């Protein structure tokens, strides 16, 4: 009589190691650097908004210069 071995998720251990490593690196970064220096999704998004605004201002300035006689 043969028994069928239950299926095992071969990705469970690598996912657990990656998750643990990411959390450890995040804690290490916070411990070694100033809290304000840690990049967050919110700070990255705000930096992108500021960069977009700066590019838009530069384009408007260039258009205004090109239209002058």
Q: Give the tens place of pLDDT for each residue, 2-53.
A: 667 678 888 899 999 999 999 999 888 888 887 777 778 898 999 999 999 9
What's this model's pTM, rounded to 2 decimal places? 0.48
| The token pair that represents 22 in the structure block | 């990411």
CA distance 51 to 58: 11
What is residue 56's DSSP assignment?
H
CA angle 12, 28, 33 (to 5 degrees): 145
């Amino acid at each position: 009589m043969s028994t069928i071995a239950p299926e095992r998720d071969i990705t469970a251990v690598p996912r657990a190691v990656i998750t643990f490593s990411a959390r450890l690196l995040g804690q290490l970064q916070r411990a070694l650097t100033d809290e304000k220096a840690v990049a967050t999704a919110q700070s990255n998004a705000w930096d992108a908004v500021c960069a977009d605004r700066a590019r838009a201002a530069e384009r408007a300035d260039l258009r205004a210069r090109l239209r002058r006689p």
